[in-house]
Amino acid sequence: MTRRPAMQFMSHILYIRLSSLTRQAGKPDVRVRFHPLTTLIPHHGLVLVMAIFLMASCLAVAAESASQPKAPVPDATAQQTARKAASELFADRFKLAKTTADKTALATDMMDAAGKVQAGSADQYVLLKIARDVAAGAGDAATALQAVERLLEQFEEPAAELIGETLLTAAREATTSAQHKAVAEAALSLAGKLADSDQYDTALRLCEAARSSAQRARLYPLAKELTAQIEETKRQQLQSED
């Protein structure tokens, strides 16, 4: 499946800039040349911009591809075989991935590997799923959402639930203010969509986790917005039960 050119272009620009912040750990990479657009975005806001953009991109991909055939989620046996192969291939990287930057780099390399195997295969599914888990487990919502976007392009996965689960994990594991802010902003954007599709429990869990992230980052106006979203979701849930 081919993504919209503008979406792919923006994702590429933002991903390169984010990679320079996470993978290089403050060390400039003279091989990378940034597009002028990135100079308009403060460094501390790049993680937030990337997460929100990728979440919107995930939902857009799901909407655009709803009528197009996608591969079913591989069965448990196929996934187990693929997971064993992936674990063996990346065994040394898993052992060495201690920091957030290391885990982001590992997740990125696994996504690259997923792009080189057969589309719609169990190997591709498992590589993207592990990449999502590794990035979310490091609190890196932006990279985790990029893996989700690719999963939604190829496989019959429920978009809102997958994004919600990813953000919940990232919220639990986030450690920096930038990570907490990225999670909270993305969650606020998604919560309404979850509630509108009657997924109230997931929406409430996500809002609660996001509100905690906002408070940890001392983003009190954002925490207040999330509180309002929680109340609205509860109201919708009660109405649906009448």
Confidence at residue 197, expressed as pLDDT on a 0 to 100 scale? 86
211 Cβ partners below 8 Å, 6+ apart? 184, 223, 226, 227, 230
**Distinct helix (H) and strand (E) counts, the chain:** 11, 0
Tokens of 201: 């429990």
Looking at every residue in the chain, the average pLDDT score rounds to: 80
Query: What percentage of the chain reaches a pLDDT higher than 70?
Result: 72
pLDDT 10s digits, 202-214: 999 999 999 999 9
**What radius of gyration do the chain's Cα atoms show?**
18
pTM (2 d.p.): 0.71
* Structure letter (DSSP) for residue 242: -
Which residue, 63, 74, 88, is CA-closest to 124? 74
Which residue, 132, 142, 207, is CA-closest to 168? 207
Confidence at residue 50, expressed as pLDDT on a 0 to 100 scale? 52
Confidence at residue 20, expressed as pLDDT on a 0 to 100 scale? 37
What are 90's strand-pairing partners?
Answer: none
Highest mean pLDDT among 15-29, 100-114, 150-164: 100-114
Which residue, 196, 184, 182, 194, is CA-closest to 225? 184
pLDDT 10s digits, 61-116: 555 555 568 999 999 999 999 999 999 999 999 999 999 999 999 999 999 999 99
Size of the chain, expressed as the number of residues it contains: 242
Rounding to the nearest 10 degrees, give the CA dihedral for residues 55, 230, 138, 216. Answer: 120
Give yes or no for residue 230 having a pLDDT over 70: yes
Confidence at residue 175, expressed as pLDDT on a 0 to 100 scale? 92
Tokens of 193: 């969509």
Distances in whole angstroms, Cα of residue 167 to Cα of each of 27, 49, 68, 85, 223: 28, 15, 26, 27, 16
Give yes or no for residue 42 having a pLDDT over 80: no
Give yes or no for residue 229 having a pLDDT over 90: yes
Confidence at residue 193, expressed as pLDDT on a 0 to 100 scale? 87
Q: Is 66 exposed, middle or buried (0-12, 13-18, 19+ CB in 10 A)?
A: exposed
Comparing 24-33, 50-59, 184-193, the range with the smallest average pLDDT is 24-33
Rounded to an integer, what distance in angstroms lies between the CA atom of residue 106 and that of residue 109? Answer: 5
Comparing 117-126, 186-195, 199-208, the range with the smallest average pLDDT is 186-195
Mean pLDDT over 5-29 rounds to 39
